[in-house]
């Protein structure tokens, strides 16, 4: 499910919550394959509720991706709490990727799938862009904490590896893809750390 309800709360979920729960169909079967009528039937709400809440299907898909972003962010944040050093935290992003690709029902990257047929500049593309900016920003922050000389470049390299791990996890049905990507990330991080050390040595000479 995209949304999470409080088990202590006995109130009936709102129309918005039910519609967002129903967008799990988008993840399982594809945004283009699942029509509004199926979402409405799954949610058990009136069609007017969807349009009053989200405006149209594009607005619903954007809300679905925003909810997916929260899930990814919380998974990564939770995983990183297990690590102490900057290096461990940076590589821990790939442990979070491993949890993603081995999770029951994993069906690839929701953002890639949703934007594959979305028009340029659509609300769908904007939601995906926001997610990717967050991911890149996190990697830059972690790389800076690790003390590398060029956090932006390393973050770009690691982002490519992260994307590849998720893609291979789906396309190749390879649950070890994130582990392979993590090993490659460690090599890149080693090189970046060595470059930073060499630069500091040169300054002190």
Domain limits of the chain?
61-204
Per-residue tokens: 124: 């769908």
pLDDT over 90 (residue 2): no
Kindly indicate the confidence band of residue 12, based on its pLDDT and cuts at 50, 70 and 90: confident
Are residues 94 and 182 in contact, defined by beta-carbon separation less than 8 angstroms? yes
For residue 197, the model assigns a pLDDT of 74
Q: What are phi and psi of 172, to 5 degrees?
A: -95, -5
CA–CA distance, 51 with 33 (Å, rounded to integer): 19
pLDDT one-digit tens code per residue, 57-87: 999 999 999 999 999 999 999 999 999 999 9
Going by pLDDT thresholds of 50, 70 and 90, the confidence category of residue 120 is very high
Evaluate whether the domain defined by 61-204 bears CATH number 3.40.50.1700: no
Q: Closest Cα partner for 83 from 72, 99, 73, 94?
A: 94
The pair of structure tokens assigned to 70 is 């929260």
Q: What is the mean pLDDT of the chain?
A: 92
> Residue 9: pLDDT above 60?
no
Indicate the burial class of 121 (C-beta count within 10 angstroms; 0-12, 13-18, 19 or more).
Answer: exposed
Q: What is the pLDDT of residue 164?
A: 97
What pTM value is reported for the model? 0.89
Q: Enter the DSSP assignment of 33.
A: T
Q: How many CB atoms lie within 10 A of CB 139?
A: 23
């Amino acid at each position: 499910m995209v949304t999470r309800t409080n088990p202590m709360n006995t109130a009936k979920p709102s129309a918005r919550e039910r519609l967002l729960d129903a967008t799990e169909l988008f993840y399982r079967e594809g945004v283009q394959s699942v029509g509004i009528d199926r979402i409405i039937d799954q949610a058990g709400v009136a069609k007017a509720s969807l349009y009053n809440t989200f405006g149209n299907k594009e607005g619903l898909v954007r809300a679905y991706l925003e909810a997916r972003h929260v899930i990814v962010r919380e998974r990564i944040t939770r995983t990183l709490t297990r690590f102490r050093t900057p290096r461990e935290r940076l590589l821990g992003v790939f442990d979070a990727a491993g949890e993603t690709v081995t999770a029951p029902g994993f069906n690839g990257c929701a953002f890639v799938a949703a934007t594959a047929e979305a028009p340029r500049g659509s609300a769908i593309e904007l939601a995906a862009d926001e997610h990717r900016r967050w991911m890149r920003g996190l990697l830059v922050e972690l790389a800076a904490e690790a003390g590398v000389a060029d956090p932006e470049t390393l973050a770009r390299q690691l982002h490519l590896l992260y994307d590849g791990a998720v893609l291979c996890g789906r396309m190749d049905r390879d649950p070890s893809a994130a582990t392979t990507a993590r090993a490659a990330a460690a090599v890149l991080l080693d090189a970046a750390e060595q470059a930073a050390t060499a630069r500091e040595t040169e300054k002190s000479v």
